[in-house]
Amino acid sequence: MSLTTEVAGVVARMREADIAFADLGLADARQFYIDTLAKSGGEPVPMGQTVEHELTLDGRNLGARRYRPDGLAEGAAPTLVYFHGGGWVLGDLESHDRVCRQLARRAGCQLVAVDYRLAPEHCLPASSDDAIAAYGYLVEHAAEFDIDVHRLAVGGDSAGGHLSAVVALAARDAGWPLALQVLIYPATDLREAARSYPSKGRNANVPPLTAELMAWFGQRSVDANTDPLDWRVSPILADTLESTAPALVITAGADVLMDEGVLYAARLADDGVDVDHAHYPGVIHGFIEMQAWLAATSDLMDRIAAAVRAHLAITG
C-alpha cells in the first residue's frame, strides 16, 4: 500500500520503536496506549468547562466526561456522544481526551465522552450493551447533561466506531432521537470469514493496527459466549440498516479495517440511509489520534465538525 510522504515518516518511526502490545502485560499495554496518544494528540485545547459524571446503569456504573467549548451558550446544547477506540481492550476517557476536545471546539458543540467495560474482563457484547444503555440513559436524563435531544449525534473511532454503529441501530429500534452517526474507520464484521477481506492482507504489516495486533485484540475481546453473528458484535450483519441515522463513514487506505468500513458505507446507502463516505488514501488506522503528527488529522477533524454542525443545525 502506497503511503503519503508524511504518513510514511510516522510509520517508519513506529517501526523503529519496535514496541508491540503483545510483548506487554495488560496493565502496561493500557498505560502505553494512553501515553502514546498523549504524545501523538498534541497539546490539549482548552475548554470552557469539563465535567466528570457517573452513569448509573443496571448493575454497573460508567464514567463519562462532558466537554463544553468556549462560546457555547448555557443550557441545552447540541451534543456529540463519543466512544473511544482501543480494540475493546484498551482506552478510556484519558486516552481520547485530546480528540474529544478538538472535536468539541471545531464543531462548536457539547461532547459527552462515555467509558465502557473493557475486555478481557468483559468480552463482547458487553461493551455494546454498555454503549446502548449509556446512550439511552443520556436521552432519558438529557436535562441533567444540558443535552438538546433534538440535536444529538453519536461517533467514535475503530472499536468506538463499531459501538456507534451499534448505538445507531439500537436508537432506531428504541425510537431514541439521533441526527447523525460518525463512524471513524469502524470495525463492523467480527466473523472468522472477515479475515479474508483484501485489506486485511494488504495492510497486515502497516502499524499501528497490524494483523498481529488484530489477533491480540481478538484473543481478548471475544470468548465462548460471543456470537459473531449477533448485530451487537457484527453490525454489518443486522437484518437491515434502513431508517438508521444519516452517517459519515471515514475509511483509511492503509488500514486493515478499510474494506469493512467501505462495505458498511455501501450497505447503509443500499438500505436508503444518507451516507457521506470520506476516504483517505495512503493514510493509516488511528490517524484521528495523531494531531501532532499528521496534517490529515486536522482535515479529518474539520470534516467531522462540518458534518456535526450541518446535522445538528449549529450556526455561528
Active site residues: 158, 255, 285
Quick one: residue 186, left, alpha or beta (phi over 0 = left, psi -120 to 50 = alpha)? beta
3-state secondary structure (DSSP) of residue 302: helix
DSSP class of 49: E
The alpha carbon of 57 is separated from its chain's Cα centroid by a whole number of angstroms, namely 21
CB count in 10 Å sphere of residue 278: 16
CA distance 15 to 25: 20
CA distance 312 to 215: 38
Question: CB neighbours of 302 closer than 8 A, spacing ≥ 6?
Answer: 106
DSSP class of 152: E
Strand pairing category for 147-157 and 180-184: parallel
Q: What phi, psi does 63 have (nearest 5°)?
A: -75, 150
